[in-house]
Amino acid sequence: MKHFAFKIRAVQIDLARQTEPIDFIKGFIDFIASNGYNTLVLYLEGRIRTSSFSFLPKNESYSTDEMREIVIYAGVQNIEVIPVVSTLGHAGLFLKYSELEDLAELRGKVKGRFGSSVKHLFCPSLSATYQFLENYITEISEIFPSQYFHVGCDETWDIACCDLCQERLKSGESQSDIYGKHLLECYRIVTRKLGKRMILWDDMFEYYPQALDVLPRDVIMACWQYQADVEKTVGHFNNHAVADSLAYYEQLGFDYLICPKDYTIHNIESFTGYGAKHQPLGGLLTTWEKSESFMLQSMPAIAYAGRLWESGVNGDYDQLLQNVISNIFGIGDELFFQSVKAVYSSGLYLERRTSLNTFLTKRENNEEHVRTRLADVLLYVLPGYLDKVQADSRGILEEIVLSLRSEKISHELDELLPEFFKSDAGIQELTGKLHAVIARIEEVGQARVAMWHRIRPGITPCVMANIYENYLKNMRQIPALAAKQGFLKAHFMLPDQYSAQTTRIFIKYAGEKTWEKIEEGVFKGPTTADCFYNRLFLIDKEKMPTALKIETFGYGGQGFTYFEAENRSGRFVPAAVCNVTGSVTNPENLLSHDWRWAFAGERNTLQAFLNTKLAEAVHRFEIELKIVE
């Protein structure tokens, strides 16, 4: 990797999903200023109260004076602060209020591409949308003296759904035209009126590449890629298409930022290596959705990226990481370094799974035991350093240890919970094991809630308390649920885990003429790394299942490899596939339990996205079941 240093070295705090105390943000500014950064990006969506947008409760927002206080403090540390305001998608903080809901694309009875009516997208066909955005952006711009302004514009899934947008399509405009004209309106406000350079997330150009043709070349692309290995860019919800986007932006004359994520250091390293082959304006390390965790455990990864981008280190990643860890924790021994390195190499351990369904979904190869063993080793080593680290970094290690404990609990539940629905034998023993796990969930939950009140004093509601309350409620109901439920195990194949294919699963029992719907949803694997996975769906424990019906529609298609059911009536497997309609390839593969799959739906996500008729088509098949003697 060639030696270079980024002009913009930025890190983001997601204040839209979780507000942080002003004192914490100031402390974070101190931290990044001492670790190579010159820019703080505040992902706001609509988190600041202004004259034109005064509806947010005080406990869920910031005043203009509070934001000015942060900006002034950052300026003393030579940190530039860039705001991110949602001007198209991710606009829920604006549109949930009655005063603005008429600006939503999904107003009235209009539903979006995925059947939702949630108001999260501004309508780009309403002049009132731009009146509001111009007023609000102008007010926000006055707070931030930065030469840059980020307008969001990512994940605008429901563009062109309302009647006005549909009329534009009928008149000859394309979805790309609508998106491009929205960007030009934002450019008019941000650059022509306010004199700032506009930044935007670049993912929607995967669907609307023609919009790049009309975009002024002083707009900056924020190119985000979160996979572990970033050799080139990979499409988001777009067939996982591989492209050399950085080279393409240079060819077109755009500046761009590389935007990795804080979860794994290899994402940071590989994206930086890819960027070093080109001419990025800088880097933006993104952090997201910290309501279920804290910023603390991200600090070493954040410091590492900042130091990497500042120094332009020539491939000696290990030494740089060791320096960062030693500096943060005040510990230089090899065992501690290798343990912390393992945490950030394997991905941050986050408490994301608290519902039964998440524990009933597994990778087919079940390689999660590797992370379980790693968590065991790290929990053997790292707690012994809690009293040895520097006092101001103890909280970082505390959160790492709590996350590892949560991970260990999750993997135990992965193994334990499915057993409740597979047999009546041993329920008492299983219940005893579950109660022991529940006691540990309570311990971790109490520690996390205490950390919330310590790190986020006065920030309400305490989301962490709600998470663990629901987590415990979900786990305590398992034995009673298992007394009434058997299971249907569906084996899936989905090559692109960005897909959003809706599947309905129905069952018919002996002596009954009607279908009973078991579940409807978008069933994805527990990781984006594997296309083969399975999930248990709960069925009546007593009735004899005789047939299944599968319906699927949406974006990306859905593959299936096998179905099997079990309850007190016995074990059931496919006997025949019948009544196939729509686009279903190789349905005969469902008769054998192997890696071959049947596939239902439009495989080309991009085509279905641009032509909603393709996504609306329903594909179905039925499976007659037989009992296994």
Backbone angles phi, psi at 622, to 5 degrees: -120, 150
What the block records as the tokens of 465 is: 């308390």
Same domain, yes or no: 237 and 249: yes
| pLDDT for res 367 | 65
The CATH number covering residue 52 comes to 3.20.20.80
- Per residue in 464-521, pLDDT tens? 999 999 999 999 999 999 999 999 999 999 988 788 899 999 999 999 999 999 999 9
Question: Is residue 448 one of the residues assigned to a domain?
Answer: yes
Question: Is residue 158 one of the residues assigned to a domain?
Answer: yes
> Alpha helix (H) ranges present in 106-162?
127-143
Q: Could you identify the residue written with the tokens 């060639």?
A: 2
Question: Is residue 125 one of the residues assigned to a domain?
Answer: yes
Same domain, yes or no: 456 and 524: no
Question: Is residue 322 one of the residues assigned to a domain?
Answer: no
Q: What angle do CA 613, 615, 620 make, to 5 degrees?
A: 110
- Per residue in 98-155, pLDDT tens? 999 999 999 999 999 888 899 999 999 999 999 999 999 999 999 999 999 999 999 9
- Per residue in 545-558, pLDDT tens? 999 999 999 988 99
3-state secondary structure of 328: helix
Report the C-alpha gap between 609 and 603 in whole angstroms.
11
Domain count, the chain: 3
Same domain, yes or no: 251 and 370: no
Q: 481, 505, 540: which is the final residue of a domain?
A: 481
3-state secondary structure of 346: helix
Mean pLDDT computed over 364-393? 89
Question: Is residue 320 one of the residues assigned to a domain?
Answer: no
Same domain, yes or no: 35 and 78: yes
| pLDDT for res 584 | 97
Residue 433 pLDDT exceeds 90 = yes
Same domain, yes or no: 290 and 174: yes
Residue 4 pLDDT exceeds 80 = no
| pLDDT for res 3 | 53
> Sorting pLDDT into bands at 50, 70 and 90, what band is 240?
confident
What the block records as the tokens of 387 is: 């009293």
Same domain, yes or no: 508 and 442: no
Same domain, yes or no: 68 and 192: yes
Same domain, yes or no: 574 and 461: no
Report the C-alpha gap between 220 and 199 in whole angstroms.
5
Region of poorest pLDDT, from 52-61, 233-242, 560-569: 233-242
> Sorting pLDDT into bands at 50, 70 and 90, what band is 351?
low
Mean pLDDT of the chain: 94
Instruction: State which residues form the domain around 74.
Output: 8-315
Same domain, yes or no: 442 and 497: no
Contact in structure between 8 and 41 (CB atoms under 8 Å): no
Contact in structure between 625 and 549 (CB atoms under 8 Å): no
Same domain, yes or no: 280 and 365: no
Residue 1 pLDDT exceeds 50 = no
Q: Please name which of 611, 613, 586, 615 lies closest in space to residue 598, comparing C-alpha atoms.
A: 586
- Per residue in 148-174, pLDDT tens? 999 999 999 999 999 999 999 999 999
Q: 440, 459, 481: which is the final residue of a domain?
A: 481
Mean pLDDT computed over 232-251? 93
DSSP 498: T
Report the C-alpha gap between 560 and 595 in whole angstroms.
9
DSSP 385: G
Question: Is residue 156 one of the residues assigned to a domain?
Answer: yes
- Per residue in 353-362, pLDDT tens? 889 999 999 8
Same domain, yes or no: 432 and 581: no
Quickly count helices (H) and strands (E) in the chain. 20, 21
Same domain, yes or no: 146 and 190: yes
| pLDDT for res 395 | 97
Contact in structure between 504 and 520 (CB atoms under 8 Å): yes
Q: 455, 481, 507: which is the final residue of a domain?
A: 481
Mean pLDDT computed over 584-589? 97
| pLDDT for res 5 | 76
Cα 154 to the chain's mean position, in Å?
Answer: 13
Contact in structure between 462 and 60 (CB atoms under 8 Å): no
Mean pLDDT computed over 549-572? 95
Question: Is residue 3 one of the residues assigned to a domain?
Answer: no
Q: Please name which of 63, 54, 88 lies closest in space to residue 198, comparing C-alpha atoms.
A: 88
- Per residue in 446-468, pLDDT tens? 999 999 999 999 999 999 999 99
Question: Is residue 439 one of the residues assigned to a domain?
Answer: yes
| pLDDT for res 366 | 67
Report the C-alpha gap between 88 and 69 in whole angstroms.
28
Residue 268 pLDDT exceeds 80 = yes
Cβ density class 128-151: b for 16+ within 10 Å, e for less: ebbebbbebbebbbebbebebbbb
